[in-house]
Amino acid sequence: MKNISAYLEKYNSNLKFFEYETPNLSKGQVLVRIKYAGICRSQLMEIEGKRDTKKWLPHMLGHEAVGKVIGLHKTCKKFKIGDDIIATWINSKGSKSRGGEVNFKKKRINYGPISTFSKFAIISENKLVKKPKNLNDKIAPYFGCAALTGMGLVLNQAKPKKNDLVLVLGLGGVGLFSIFALLTYRNMKKNIVIVETNKKKKKLAKKLEIQNFYLISRKSDKEKLIKNFRGKVNLCLENSGSHKSIEFAMSMIKDNGKVYFSSHPPQNKKIKINPHDLIKGKKIFGTWGGGCKPDRDISKFSKILKNNKLFIDLIKSKHYDFVKINNAIKDFKNGKILRPIIKI
């Protein structure tokens, strides 16, 4: 079967397309006709060489998508041909596959257990979940990454109390879904403070009806933020992946407060923490996909948001044809779009 995929050959370069014969399936692998795929901040970091992935180059990218099962290895029992699925980088039930490689013009192009920037994707069975029937294909890719991490972080891990003051650093996909969870779980609208570097996100905060919005790149806003909230924050959700932002988060929480960070800091960057803060009870946690079990939580979270008109309106994103994937990456990197969806 003829296939077309996008792959990264070297850091800080456009993805390249190539056509090839789809390999035979190996143990634990499922063949999926991808319909829509999402682009995540961690994919940008990988393209920019900010994650330790050089040994895998050249390789295919993508770890959140929606599609249909069109092939199964005999070891795969979780699905049947024709099932609609969501692909996620977070492990779920099912057989495991380590990925493989494709030979193309004397190059070996790697693909991992999940690589979704392809017309036909070979994906490990344990990276797939049946798509809830009520979930629209055009927004379903969010439930392979941003929704699981953002909502899981709140509902599975942080579990804030109703009167907690919550600082959200970064209103991207994960930050937005964290806020949806906070609004749904505890109706904490008045207790949320949003901090951003992109002034365009202020409109999004207004639509969420959250009044406390601070543009930290503006000196006056940062001074007001520190004056109003330093030492008062119970919970800080840091979504940017900046090591400096994680350090700032620690400076904002009260004694016995908690910081959760959801994105990888660039490789070789260290987080500096004052040991005295730990003695006073401050706590810092990383989160791996919001502590989610995709087989359980994708359905659960989609039901929570099913009748949320605000979610349906806000999550609408620009869709790009597959051939325009590099335009999507550029727009995402420049903050022109919340989180692009690629129509494969």
- The pLDDT of residue 277 is 94
Return d(Cα 92, Cα 35) in angstroms, integer. 21
- Domain shared by 14 and 132, yes or no: yes
Which residues lie across from 2 on neighbouring strands? 21
- Domain shared by 37 and 120, yes or no: yes
Q: Of 291, 306, 328, which marks where a domain is finished? A: 291
Residue 130: pLDDT over 90: yes
Alpha helices for 126-271 (secondary structure H): 146-152, 173-186, 201-207, 219-229, 243-252
- Domain shared by 152 and 181, yes or no: yes
pLDDT higher at 54 or 343 = 343
Residue type, 342: I
Residue 289: pLDDT over 90: yes
- Domain shared by 14 and 63, yes or no: yes
CATH, residue 243: 3.40.50.720
- The pLDDT of residue 310 is 74
Return d(Cα 274, Cα 85) in angstroms, integer. 45
| Residue 184 counted as domain residue | yes
- Domain shared by 134 and 156, yes or no: no
CATH, residue 70: 3.90.180.10
| Residue 298 counted as domain residue | no
- Domain shared by 62 and 102, yes or no: yes
Return d(Cα 131, Cα 84) in angstroms, integer. 6
Comparing C-alpha atoms, which of 47, 141, 131 is closest to residue 343?
A: 141
- The pLDDT of residue 313 is 74
Residue 314: pLDDT over 70: no
- Domain shared by 193 and 210, yes or no: yes
- Domain shared by 186 and 84, yes or no: no
Return d(Cα 141, Cα 325) in angstroms, integer. 15
Q: Which of the residue ranges 47-56, 201-210, 295-304 has the most confident prediction, judged by mean pLDDT?
A: 295-304
| Residue 301 counted as domain residue | no
Residue type, 261: F
| Residue 305 counted as domain residue | no
| Residue 59 counted as domain residue | yes
315, 142 Cβ separation under 8 angstroms: yes
The secondary structure of 140-169 as a DSSP string is: GGGGGTHHHHHHHIIIIII---TT--EEEE
What mean pLDDT do residues 155-162 have?
A: 94
- Domain shared by 233 and 267, yes or no: yes
What mean pLDDT do residues 313-336 have?
A: 88
Sign of the C-alpha dihedral computed for residues 322, 344, 77 and 88 taken in this order: positive
The angle formed by the CA atoms of residues 128, 168 and 162, to the nearest 5 degrees, is 95
- The pLDDT of residue 265 is 79
Residues of the chain with pLDDT > 70, as a percent, come to: 99
Residue 80: pLDDT over 80: yes
- Domain shared by 171 and 102, yes or no: no
Structure confidence by residue, pLDDT tens digits, 229-286:
999 999 999 998 889 999 999 999 999 999 999 987 777 788 999 999 999 999 999 9
Q: Give the global pTM.
A: 0.94
pLDDT tier at 5, thresholds 50, 70, 90: very high
| Residue 73 counted as domain residue | yes
For the chain, the average pLDDT equals 93
Comparing C-alpha atoms, which of 87, 26, 20, 15 is closest to residue 58?
A: 15
What's 275-288 look like in SS3? HHHHHCCCEEEECC
Residue 43 φ/ψ, nearest 5 degrees:
-65, -40
- The pLDDT of residue 315 is 66
- The pLDDT of residue 185 is 77
**136 contact partners, CB below 8 Å, separation of at least 6:** none
- The pLDDT of residue 316 is 67
| Residue 300 counted as domain residue | no
- Domain shared by 78 and 205, yes or no: no
Structure confidence by residue, pLDDT tens digits, 87-101:
999 999 999 998 999
Domain enclosing residue 227, as ranges: 146-291
Comparing C-alpha atoms, which of 219, 281, 231, 290 is closest to residue 260?
A: 290
- Domain shared by 27 and 51, yes or no: yes
37, 325 Cβ separation under 8 angstroms: no
The total number of structural domains in the chain stands at 2
| Residue 304 counted as domain residue | no
Provide the pairing of β-strand 192-196 with 213-215: parallel
What mean pLDDT do residues 8-15 have?
A: 96
